[in-house]
Amino acid sequence: MAEFILSKERVEDAVNVIVQFLRDSGYEGSLEDGTGLNDIVVRPSAVIYELIAQTVEKARAYQSLQKAFELRDEIGDDEYDNAVDGLLSNWFITRNNGKPSTGVIRMWFLKPQDYMYFPDGTELGTVNNVTIVADTDQVFTETSFSYIINTTNNQNEYYVDVTVRTAENSDIAPSASSGSDVNLHYSDIYYLRATIPGTFTAGTLVEDSETFIRRAELAITTRELITSRAINTVILDTFADVIRLYVSRHGSREQLRDIVEFQNVTVHVGNKADIYLASQITKQTMEVAVVNGVIDTAQLPSSLAVIGYLGVTDTEGNELPMHLTCIESTWCSNGMLPETLTTDPEYSGTARITLLTDTVLEQVHAFVYSDSQRVTCYDPMVKHMFPLVLHINLDIALLDTSINSDNDIKKAVLDYISHIVVNNDPWVASELVSAIHVACPNVKKINLPLACTGHIFDPLTQETAVLEVGNRFTISADYTGTHSRQITDNTVQFYSDENLIHITSDYSGS
């Protein structure tokens, strides 16, 4: 049932309307407070009038999106959202309700526990004041624990990793490097503390009405995945983790698969569609065996969607050279691992490799290739957009030199990068500077020019290109050398993380 508001101000306004109506009708009697006519007729009628007026107002809001927007201030945000939901439900489109953030909490003990059981949904505590719960049923016994030696007090500390999610839908992504505050409600004399061993995978908040309306504008009645509009509508409707997408189709610059050699004749066969997705990019670090510089790709999980790499180190943490080869036309597609991975040919042993992976590519691939979605003589391929890895160095002066603002500054940078990914905007250094100043009031000055480079693996040259990212940067304008035709503004996603942003803070107050 719709909610109605009867405030003193609304009732007084309604009284004035009724009094004016009576005066316009020729009534000349007394209508002041305390008179019988005022108490018996005017005020009760004003209450009824105000209820009817609000009912009519809300009914008008449900007539069209434009009318709902015009009346938003009058009906309130909740009623506005309800009106948008009701109107767009006629198009068989529903609001994305979001999903919780997920991650791992590491619990530390002085000795292994005999038995711990966390049922799915058990409230465990908070991270940055956001409630977290166990994600699936989890049982731990003494053999589940690992340990390290705490060199400070020279004693063993034992730990287990508990998979968790936020209790509500959230877009937080706390990490070990962001100084996140973890507070678990766990009582045991051997329990020490809880930490975050990696970075949470951010969920999504409930879709706001403006985003919902923009998405609905692409909606069409024909939903087979064969036209660009249908692909955009269905995939963005179905997968909240897909930020945006681009379809490389017949005749597109980026489409390479429909040009084939047939008996020494180049033929443009058509029927191909490369569906490039922008989604949250995550890091996957794993240990691999190296034999004479060769890393057997069979060591990589078959379900892993490899879309790039950040580097490889030896057991001492020293950087090793890295090189991979791939098939140009299928690089960044689901299930396509590098053909070869090599490093220093004189190195053998264990190495730690950090890959860039995608969280949703496999799901979208399975959806697109489902029998219920396929169209005869149609060959789609789902790919992730090529990551342009930004290495950013900031030289900053602070107002209050006693406050370390590095984490806030890094968050502002990553928020700006997320913004340009969503909107497919160019990198503009002045906009980044403004975003930092708005988000970080302790920043006095950012020295220019910004030092930033972009690293992108080119599947044509099989090399990583290093590009200078200046005041305004786009791939089309600034990647001028010979490179794969697939790399354009349509198919590139900017990426960075806390470890790739380096800040030099001026603590002298200058």
The overall average pLDDT reported for the chain is: 83
Q: Is 62 exposed, middle or buried (0-12, 13-18, 19+ CB in 10 A)?
A: middle
Q: Is residue 204 part of a domain?
A: no
- What pLDDT was estimated at residue 427? 96
CB 386 within 8 A of CB 456: yes
For the chain, what is the radius of gyration of the CA atoms? Answer: 30
Count of domains in the chain?
Answer: 5
**Confidence band for 40, pLDDT divided at 50, 70 and 90:** low
Instruction: State whether 350 and 457 are in the same domain.
Output: no
Q: What mean pLDDT do residues 320-333 have?
A: 91
Q: Is 131 helix (H, G, I), strand (E, B) or coil?
A: strand
Between the alpha carbon of residue 484 and those of residues 337, 343, 481, 491, the distances in Å are 18, 24, 10, 11
- What pLDDT was estimated at residue 95? 82
Q: Is residue 2 part of a domain?
A: no
- What pLDDT was estimated at residue 510? 44
At 226, give phi and psi (nearest 5°).
-130, -20
Q: Is 118 helix (H, G, I), strand (E, B) or coil?
A: strand
**Which of 2-11, 194-203, 484-493 has the weakest average pLDDT?**
2-11
At 381, give phi and psi (nearest 5°).
-140, 130
- What pLDDT was estimated at residue 300? 82
User: Which of these three, 38, 67, 89, is where a domain ends?
Assistant: 89
**Confidence band for 11, pLDDT divided at 50, 70 and 90:** low
Contacts 24+ apart (CB under 8 A), 152-156: 155/110
User: Which of these three, 89, 122, 145, is where a domain ends?
Assistant: 89
Instruction: State whether 190 and 328 are in the same domain.
Output: no
Report the C-alpha gap between 127 and 166 in whole angstroms.
Answer: 9
Going along 314-385, which residue ranges are E strands? 319-320, 323-325, 340-342, 349-358, 379-384
- What pLDDT was estimated at residue 268? 63
* H/E element, 37: helix 36-37
Q: Is residue 175 part of a domain?
A: yes
Q: Which two tokens stand for residue 348?
A: 């053998």
- What pLDDT was estimated at residue 220? 46
Sign of CA dihedral 138, 179, 429, 208: positive
Q: Which two tokens stand for residue 45?
A: 């009628």
Q: Is residue 494 part of a domain?
A: yes
Distance of CA 328 to the CA centre of its chain: 27
Q: Which two tokens stand for residue 372?
A: 């219920």
Q: Is residue 210 part of a domain?
A: no
Q: Which two tokens stand for residue 428?
A: 């503009």
Residue 121 CA neighbour count, 13 Å, CB half: 0
- What pLDDT was estimated at residue 91? 61
Instruction: State whether 273 and 374 are in the same domain.
Output: yes
Instruction: State whether 312 and 369 are in the same domain.
Output: no
Instruction: State whether 79 and 188 are in the same domain.
Output: no
226 residue type, one letter: I
Instruction: State whether 397 and 456 are in the same domain.
Output: yes
Distance of CA 475 to the CA centre of its chain: 22
Say if residue 388's pLDDT is above 90: yes
Instruction: State whether 499 and 404 are in the same domain.
Output: yes
pTM of the entire structure? 0.63
Report the C-alpha gap between 168 and 133 in whole angstroms.
Answer: 10
Q: Please, which residues bridge with residue 393 across strands?
A: 451, 502
* H/E element, 178: none
Q: Is residue 97 part of a domain?
A: no
Instruction: State whether 392 and 375 are in the same domain.
Output: no
User: Which of these three, 89, 110, 145, is where a domain ends?
Assistant: 89
- List, for residues 164-210, the tens digit of each pLDDT value: 999 999 888 888 777 778 999 998 999 999 998 888 888 888 888 88
Between the alpha carbon of residue 43 and those of residues 20, 27, 76, 151, the distances in Å are 13, 16, 25, 78
Say if residue 337's pLDDT is above 90: no
How, if at all, do strands 340-342 and 451-458 pair?
unpaired
244 residue type, one letter: R
Instruction: State whether 399 and 500 are in the same domain.
Output: yes
Residue 469 CA neighbour count, 13 Å, CB half: 25
- What pLDDT was estimated at residue 219? 56
Say if residue 49's pLDDT is above 70: no
- What pLDDT was estimated at residue 451? 94
Could you tell me the residue range of the domain that residue 312 belongs to? Answer: 281-358
- What pLDDT was estimated at residue 34? 65
How, if at all, do strands 386-398 and 501-506 pair?
parallel
Instruction: State whether 223 and 291 are in the same domain.
Output: no
116 residue type, one letter: M
- What pLDDT was estimated at residue 224? 62
Between the alpha carbon of residue 47 and those of residues 6, 20, 25, 426, 437, the distances in Å are 8, 16, 20, 55, 50
Q: What mean pLDDT do residues 407-412 have?
A: 92
SS3 of the chain: helix, strand, coil, percent, to 5: 30, 35, 40
Instruction: State whether 228 and 373 are in the same domain.
Output: yes
- List, for residues 225-256, the tens digit of each pLDDT value: 777 777 888 888 888 889 999 998 887 888 88
Distance of CA 413 to the CA centre of its chain: 14
Distance of CA 175 to the CA centre of its chain: 15
Contacts of 212 (CB under 8 A, 6+ apart): 84, 88, 93, 95, 96
Sign of CA dihedral 472, 478, 484, 490: positive
Say if residue 12's pLDDT is above 80: no
Instruction: State whether 372 and 245 are in the same domain.
Output: yes
Say if residue 303's pLDDT is above 60: yes
Question: Among 24-28, 262-266, 432-436, which range has the highest average pLDDT?
Answer: 432-436
CB 343 within 8 A of CB 293: yes
